[in-house]
Amino acid sequence: MLPKTALIYSHSFDQFSYGESHPFKVQRFRLAYELLAAYGLDRLPQATVCEATAVAEEELLTFHDRRYLDRMKEFSSSPVPRADFLYGLGDIENPVFPGFYDWACLGTGGTVEAARLVADEGYAAAFNLAGGYHHAHSARASGFSYLNDAVIAINALLAKGKRVVYLDLDAHHGDGVQEAYYESDQVLVISLHQSGIYFFPGTGFDNETGAGKGYGYTVNVPLLAHSDDPLYMKAFDEVVYPLIAAFDPDILVTQLGADTFRTDPLTNLEITTHSYTYILRKLQALKIPWVAMGGGGYDLMNTARAWTIAWGVMNGVSLSAKLPDRFVAHISSLGYPHRMLVDAMHWADDEERNLALDAVERSIAAIRKNIFPVLIG
């Protein structure tokens, strides 16, 4: 019998809007679902497509401040735009729109349900497309993130006595998740991301390694602009893979942001679906119960392709490298020229690549010196 898997989805995911000019487009969730359905991945015998439901407030309170939640609810129901910059609400980055609190609760509920299915129902993997809001702090919205679904779900797993690895593949450092577990030895937080030098959120350097009993349980691999597929795989193979194996978690929680790709309009990495697929396959081979979330990605076709690949890997399905004809016909009418699901491995230009290689080798050396003795011995 094939291992059970669950895809968490709701047609309500794309019923809201951050604004016409905002880079976060909720339509990416529907486009991703349409692509995986075009491959037949919504009809797999071992897989269940589960309707997302809103998270309960008591679960939110395991991380978020009640006053912050109350202000969110107040602004969400207001007929006129509101702002409270103390809580990061109502600015260009984190706009307030009607129903935004309910929308955030729906995405968070999807991740909490994914964690429950894996921890309690024996699912091998559960994937919430509309998750991965890793910048939200306990009392402040940040980076398009209002509620930190990863932290809420991990807190539920910790309450059940589970040890968790949180792996973040988004181009932006997951500062909200790091903040939550910086002094914990029950969650190993690993992040591969574009360096915070001149890049949001300005954190996630390799000397951020945890504090107190959490020392050694926060691991950051900052990548310089123009890091490419081989460098991404190198960082994963030499840092991430051995640390996950050494920690030996009960549950693997991953944020699968697709904004690392070289055509993303907000980032400067040169990664493609080649190394993304490589990493996902190595994670799947670990056979650790797996909770996955979407995340960043501001080129809609990149996110659709990435998350379709991820769902295929979780189910052990090999997908055609060419996009299905009916999906190509659909996206052509929307102006997208894409024809392939997967990309060839990409190398950056030599000068930029050499700088990025030197930087990642320095980070790997620092991690081996400071982190490996704690976790590997």
Contact present, 63 and 147 (Cβ < 8 Å)? no
DSSP letters, 308-328, are HHHHHHHTT----SBPPHHHH
Among 298, 211, 230, smallest CA distance to 27 is for: 298
What span, in angstroms and rounded, lies between the C-alpha atoms of 314 and 258?
Answer: 17
Under 8 Å CB-to-CB from 255, ≥6 apart: which residues? 131, 132, 134, 150, 166, 167, 168, 169, 170, 174, 177, 292, 293, 294, 295
What span, in angstroms and rounded, lies between the C-alpha atoms of 355 and 141?
Answer: 34
Among 222, 215, 221, smallest CA distance to 241 is for: 221
How open is the CA angle 171-176-180, to the nearest 5 degrees? 135
Q: In which residue are the tokens 């080129």 written?
A: 299
Write out the catalytic residue numbers.
135
Each as own residue / partner, the long-range contacts of residues 197-206 (CB below 8 Å, 24 or more positions apart, any chain) are 197/222, 199/172, 199/225, 199/267, 199/268, 200/143, 200/172, 201/135, 201/142, 201/143, 201/172, 201/173, 201/175, 203/173, 203/175, 203/178, 204/173, 204/174, 204/175, 204/178, 206/362, 206/363, 206/366, 206/367
What span, in angstroms and rounded, lies between the C-alpha atoms of 225 and 79?
Answer: 42
What span, in angstroms and rounded, lies between the C-alpha atoms of 205 and 195?
Answer: 7
Q: How far is CA 223 from the centre of its chain?
A: 17
Among 283, 237, 232, 282, smallest CA distance to 258 is for: 232
What span, in angstroms and rounded, lies between the C-alpha atoms of 95 and 50?
Answer: 29
